[in-house]
Amino acid sequence: MVLTQRIKRMAKNLKLKMARVEHDLTQRDLADAIGVTRQTIGLIEAGKYNPSLGLCIAICKRLDKTLDQLFWEENKNEN
């Protein structure tokens, strides 16, 4: 169960990392653009920090993505 949660979290954060790389931005570039530290972006991408809604929106605006595209998780029944 814990492994499944970690995999889901990693997949979500890969979306963020891929969007950042598509815009040719470093973690520092993105952080500076939205007013947070590079460490914050690194922690979000590593799945160790859950950003606030406001931070998610700022990230999405800078990366020209929607909340759904970067942060939505599919809920699938695990039986």
**Structural domains of the chain, ranges and CATH numbers in brackets:** 2-71 (1.10.260.40)
- State mean pLDDT over 12-31: 93
Query: Would you state the pLDDT for residue 4?
Result: 64
CB 70 within 8 A of CB 61: no
pLDDT tens readout for residues 29-71: 999 999 999 999 999 998 889 999 999 999 999 999 999 999 8
Question: What does R_g of the chain's alpha carbons equal in angstroms?
Answer: 13
pLDDT given at position 13: 77
Please answer whether residues 2 and 8 qualify as being in contact, where contact means their C-beta atoms are separated by less than 8 angstroms.
no
